[in-house]
Amino acid sequence: MDLIGTRCLRDLLEEKVALCPHREFLVCEDRSDGVRTFTYEEFDRRAAASINSRTGFVATASQPARR
């Protein structure tokens, strides 16, 4: 599914991880009403770990899976 032009959300995230991995990407409240921030790199790493644990694939924006 294309979200912006011919690029999908995953492509945009990969680009941001490569260009500015330590820039703040997401700010949210945690379960204890504290504030949690994620950088592009941290978000990508955690999302990939979550997906990898469910599928067995190993991939992040900075290290795509080989097929």
pLDDT at position 51? 76
More confident residue, 57 or 15: 15
pLDDT at position 48? 83
Is the pLDDT score of 67 beyond 50? no
- Listed by start position, the domains of the chain span 9-53
The whole model's pTM is what?
0.64
Q: Would you say 25 and 39 are in contact if contact means Cβ atoms under 8 Å apart? A: yes
Q: Would you say 27 and 36 are in contact if contact means Cβ atoms under 8 Å apart? A: yes
Three-class secondary structure of residue 9 per DSSP: helix
